[in-house]
Structure 1
Amino acid sequence: MAALKALMVDVDGVVIRPRPGGWAADLEADLGLSPAVLHDQFFGPHWADIVLGRAGLHERLGPVLAEHAPHLTSHDLAAYWFEKDAELDETLLADLAALRARGVQLHLATIQEHERAAYLWGTLGLRDRFDAMHYAADMGCRKSEAAFYKMVEARTGFRAEDLALLDDTPANVDAARAAGWGSVLWTGAAPLADVLATHGFA
């Protein structure tokens, strides 16, 4: 079995449980904004720039809301979004804590923009459970790109063979494997220790 030195852990769908219907399921009832409008006017045209750090969340969201939901500010919507999309998988986190207690570093590796990354790390307290966070807007690339893995190696000083990614997206798992990392597709169907052992990690 390989001796794992650091496990890179995805956030959405792994550390954070997906909310039935998504975080915006009750958006129209709660805040009077159609999720379809938000998708068509904000996420569709602006999200790629925001999540890769080329534009700020509030910079792009504010004008959209001013036109389509003037009763809301971008900070109102962000607060609602972040709170609705924040159910931690405490069972997995306990298993990760046990792994960390054995000397394995835990890092978050996630596709986030700056505002939610700060919320996850600070307000939600993931900084107390992980050693570092590597996210798309800070790095300028996604986990489906080879550059992401090279940058994490450079930041941490670990070699590819020392690292593994725990992720619920097959494309990211494939990209990690192509970069020489260990890679584990997380479904939540089995305990973490069993999943890691199945993939050959001590």
Structure 2
Amino acid sequence: MVDVDGVLVDGRPEDGRHWQASLEEDLGFTSDALHEHFFAPCWENIVLGRAGLMEHLATALQKIAPHVSPAQLVSYWFQMDSRLAAPLLAELSLVRAAGVRVYLATNQEHLRAAWLMEKLGLAEHVDGIFYSARLGAKKPDMEFFARVQAAVGLRGEELLLIDDSRPNIEAARKAGWQALHWTKHSSPGIVRSLCT
């Protein structure tokens, strides 16, 4: 079970910086304004699948940037947050070749989850995706781990989560899973040693 943001996908393609790093320069409004009017009040319900991304984005943009359409911002966001960790993908391919199933386990809303799999091409590298909006639970909530485990039909000790969030790692271990805390200094080679 591999996390996406901060593990398999890490920032802007050109430099790895956060996708909002040039937001004001490129689209004319600040990341603080986006946080205040969109992420802070809306994201929890969106990432849990209780609300739609585009509708809430449209409302927020009317207040902070009426010159930007929701589709325009979503396209910018997804493209700017799409640098793939090629060495880790290569290791995961070797793990899959050895017969180990590899899934994404991530907090995502529906549109970006589909974009990651189809447009960014992660579907070619994994056996499937478990994401919060579809499951109705997000990491580090224990319900996320319970639902994923039930879906794959494995015991906790047979599951390994690779994640960059300490709370997610601790929750996975509490659920009886193995867990690897991923950092920018982590070696992809450790994944194969743990999985095969």
What TM-score comes out, normalization by structure 2 length?
A: 0.93
Q: Does 1:123 align with 2:119?
A: yes
**Pairwise CA RMSD:** 1.4
Residue number in structure 2 paired with 1:47: 43
Unaligned runs of 5+ in 2: none
On the 8 A contact 1:113/1:135 being kept in 2, the answer is yes
**Conserved 8 A contact 2:91-2:191:** no
CA distance in 2 between counterparts of 1:60 and 1:50 reads 9
117 and 201 in structure 1: CA distance in 2 versus 1, 3 angstrom threshold: closer
Mapped to 2, the partners of 1:18 and 1:67 lie a distance apart of: 27
Cα distance in structure 2, aligned partners of 1:42 and 1:150: 29
What TM-score, normalized to structure 1? 0.91
Cα deviation, residue 188, structure 1: 3.8
After TM superposition, list the pairs within 5 Å mapping 1:50-89 onto structure 2.
Answer: 50-89=46-85
Q: Whole-Å Cα distance in 2 between the matches of residues 83 and 10 of structure 1?
A: 18
Whether the 8 Å CA contact 2:140–2:168 is kept in 1: the answer is: yes
Residue 93 of structure 2 corresponds to residue 97 of structure 1 = yes
Q: Could you say what secondary structure the match of 1:18 adopts?
A: coil
What residue in structure 2 maps to residue 183 of structure 1? 179
Deviation at 1:21, TM superposition (A): 4.5
Aligned residue for 2:140?
A: 144
Offset, 1:201 = 4.9
Question: Which amino acid counterpart does residue 87 of structure 1 have in structure 2?
Answer: R
Percent of pairs identical after alignment? 45
CA distance in 2, matches of 1:11, 1:35: 21
Indicate conservation of the 8 Å contact 2:95/2:192, yes or no: no
Is 1:12 matched up with 2:9?
Answer: no
In the alignment, the residues of structure 2 paired with residue 161 and residue 190 of structure 1 have an alpha-carbon distance, to the nearest angstrom, of: 22
**Is the 1:52–1:140 contact (alpha carbons within 8 Å) kept by the matching residues of 2?**
yes
Q: Which has the higher contact order (CA 8 A, sep 6+)?
A: 1
1:192 Cα offset (Å): 2.6
- Which amino acid is the alignment partner of residue 9 of structure 2? I
Change (3 A) 1:201 1:116: closer
Output aligned runs, 1:20-39, within 5 Å.
Answer: 20-39=16-35
Instruction: Answer yes or no: is the 8 Å Cα contact 2:11–2:80 preserved in 1.
Output: no
Structure 1: stretches of 5+ with no match in the other structure? 1-7
CA contact (8 A) 1:27 1:33 kept: yes
Residues 100, 196 of structure 1: CA spacing in aligned structure 2 closer, same or farther, 3 A cutoff? Answer: closer
* Equivalent pair of 1:184/1:196 in contact (CA under 8 Å): no
The DSSP-based 3-state class of the residue aligned with 2:9 is coil
Partners of 1:41 and 1:67 in 2: CA distance? 8
